[in-house]
Amino acid sequence: MPELSLTTRLDTFSTIKKAHWYGLKRLGIETIRDLLYHFPTRYEDYSVMTPIAELAPETKVTVEGVVTRLSAGKTWKKKLLLTEAVVEDRTGTLRAIWFNQRFVQTVLKEGQSVRLSGKVVRDRDGLIMQSPAFERTERSATHTGRLVPVYPETTGLTSKFLRWQIATIFQKLKMLPDPIGATILSELHLPDLRTALAYIHFPKLEKHVLLAEKRFAFEEMFFLQLKSLSIRRAAADGRARPITLDPALRQAFQAALGFTLTGAQEKAIAEILSDLSGTRPMNRLLNGDVGSGKTAVAMTAMYTAAESGFQSALLAPTEVLATQHAASFDRIFAPLGKNVALLTGSLSTLSGRSIGRAALVKAIVAGIPDIVIGTHAILEDRVRFHSLALVVVDEQHHFGVAQRARLQEKAFESEDGSDATVPHFLTMTATPIPRTLALTLFGNLDLSLLDEMPRERKPIITRIAVSDVARKKVYAFIEQEIGKGRQAFVILPLVETSKAMEEVKAATTEAERLKKEVFPHHRVGLLHGRMKAKEKEAIMHDFKEQKLDILVSTAVVEVGIDIPNATVMLIEGAERFGLSQLHQFRGRVGRGTEQSHCFLFPSDGQSPESARLQALEKEASGFALAEIDLKLRGPGAFLGTRQSGLPDIAMEHLSNMKLIQIAREKADVILKSDPTLADHPLLRKALQTFEERIHLE
């Protein structure tokens, strides 16, 4: 067999059967690197060897002795295979039993010296170990007698199997080059890669685990900052068109908006206009609370481009959101003599009027629309711009780097021949992200915060409700609001009833129940993630057009969708959502002039005294709630590890600003002397692997 490396695929090993391979793939493990970086979620401490005579019930221990008796049979009631062994040391004897583990009787032999690790319990015949891990005493400790790692598992793949594979591979893997230089590791007192992997998978002491975790957290932060700074440097190397706006025109535009801007909006606009006036391409994240007025800020930037004779494009994640933006922009821009185009999968309009897709594409390349709003349809090859100078991306987490790069290419393809320039970029998110996390994850972007609400916006009254009496009152209140011509949302955690979570109401079941039993005289709609995109669009359109009174939805309810007529938000199983997500749901109401309400129903049996739910009841600021959520649940749960791609160890250190600062300093030093990492081939290769795993805006 050829020499092993981190890129060696596991399906080339004879010990990995087809069923194992499918299980490994479910865990995202295909190569040796994937397996070695599949870190434990916790450790069972079986490091202390205890004489049998000193055992106590309800303790986790390791014992060592000789198998003096071995028997197999079936349980009387459930007819399960039962294997029982008696193990003896110099101080006494202990019984051990295993249920439905046929291999035990073939592996264990009478007279064998073994180690057992597990929990000791008491039954009517005395102390006993149930389903302990075991191995022969002459073997080095892998599953017993040490700090035993417990890994994320899947059907057919146990921690025992993973421990065995990792131990086998680790012994065979001779070469383990470290992408992080010895100088950096020495300065920070961190172990090299091989030592850190040994510490994480085969720790002798708890401090070894902590040291390994620190090393891998630094590694992820270091790569993240390298990538972030590389993007920032590449953007700075480009040249953008300078865009300026006469102060008198700016005042006239703000008057056309029809409302007074908040201090936060004024500050964000000043930062954006300053960026636009230079030749260095703007690369800014507008991080705004729900209802803080991001659209007005984006409008000002796009009006500035239009007044300078350039086009701008706004990319939205869904047709409903794109259509909503187009209507808002048209209302403001048409009286100012500016043309707004809308291009989605099924819609093409110019200044509010339907137009054929081919005709609209021709109009865009001729420079007729000043502003083009749309979904992924804008990215199609046939769509070319006349003079694209500004790109705005709404709900940036829906779009990857490749899609943003495609829009940049469209600027290069502009018909005015300015192929040497790149567009200014403004990305927006309605998820309030604490500044520490924003600087970590979006270090390549300048940051503008909208942490102030418009004065005319009424705070949403939020209440935790638990009793049947409270539920009836809430239903009566919804009935009353619908009677006034208003609408309501009902949010649930799951699509269909799950055996594992039977206490959580499923959206499909609840929609039927509400339709038949609670609101039989009202129109109830259903929205969930398993629907096709067109079905979701149709349901949201019907709700927006007031063809539905109540919308029952899972967490997919569109962020940013504007339903001014909706005044009630009811959230079932509220404790199952993060604080920031609950705040996002709450922000779907309260967008009109009427007072709005949000009711939080914990799952049956859950305490309403949840710190998170109480925080939502008292606190209206999304940024304040995000900070609370970060403290209560940690960065991993706050951001959602799957979305970011960062492993748990890195996620848990995301709020460690000192670690982030050090990682950024080290990355900056390397890039200043070696921008392409040509002199750091191992680091360059590791960074490429990192980029494939991480979704970085």
- Average pLDDT over every residue of 559-567: 82
The yes-or-no verdict on residue 590 having pLDDT over 90 is no
Average of per-residue pLDDT values in the chain: 85
pLDDT band at 641, cuts 50/70/90?
very low
Q: Report the pLDDT value the prediction gives residue 690, as an integer from 0 to 100.
A: 81
* 211 close to 191: Cβ distance less than 8 angstroms: yes
Task: Read off the pLDDT of residues 12-23 as tens digits, 9 standing for 90 and up.
Answer: 888 888 888 988
Q: Report the pLDDT value the prediction gives residue 697, as an integer from 0 to 100.
A: 44
Distance between CA atoms of residues 660 and 63, nearest Å: 44
Q: Report the pLDDT value the prediction gives residue 647, as an integer from 0 to 100.
A: 55
Token pair belonging to 672: 């200043």
Distance between CA atoms of residues 400 and 322, nearest Å: 18
- Alpha carbon of 423 to those of 245, 277, 294, 403: distances in Å? 17, 12, 20, 14
Q: Whole-model pTM? A: 0.68
Largest CA distance in the chain: 95
Q: What is the DSSP string of 418-451?
A: -TTB--EEEEEESS---HHHHHHHTTTSEEEEE-
pLDDT band at 314, cuts 50/70/90?
very high
* 371 close to 341: Cβ distance less than 8 angstroms: yes
Task: Read off the pLDDT of residues 416-465 as tens digits, 9 standing for 90 and up.
Answer: 555 567 889 898 887 777 766 776 666 677 889 888 888 878 889 999 99
Task: Read off the pLDDT of residues 148-189 as tens digits, 9 standing for 90 and up.
Answer: 888 888 888 888 889 989 999 988 888 788 999 999 999 999
- Average pLDDT over every residue of 395-400: 56
Is 542 exposed, middle or buried, given 0-12, 13-18 or 19+ CB atoms closer than 10 A?
A: middle
Domains of the chain: 42-150 (2.40.50.140), 247-450 (3.40.50.300), 461-619 (3.40.50.300)
The yes-or-no verdict on residue 137 having pLDDT over 50 is yes
Alpha-helical segments (H) within 459-532: 468-483, 507-513
Distance between CA atoms of residues 99 and 81, nearest Å: 6
Token pair belonging to 270: 């000043």
Half-sphere exposure of 211 (CA within 13 A, CB side): 20
Q: How far apart are the first and last CA of the chain?
A: 41
pLDDT band at 520, cuts 50/70/90?
very high
Distance between CA atoms of residues 429 and 441, nearest Å: 13
- Alpha carbon of 666 to those of 183, 225, 436, 655: distances in Å? 11, 9, 18, 18
The yes-or-no verdict on residue 644 having pLDDT over 50 is no
Q: Report the pLDDT value the prediction gives residue 404, as an integer from 0 to 100.
A: 55
Token pair belonging to 190: 């961190």
- Average pLDDT over every residue of 315-332: 90
Distance between CA atoms of residues 255 and 656, nearest Å: 44
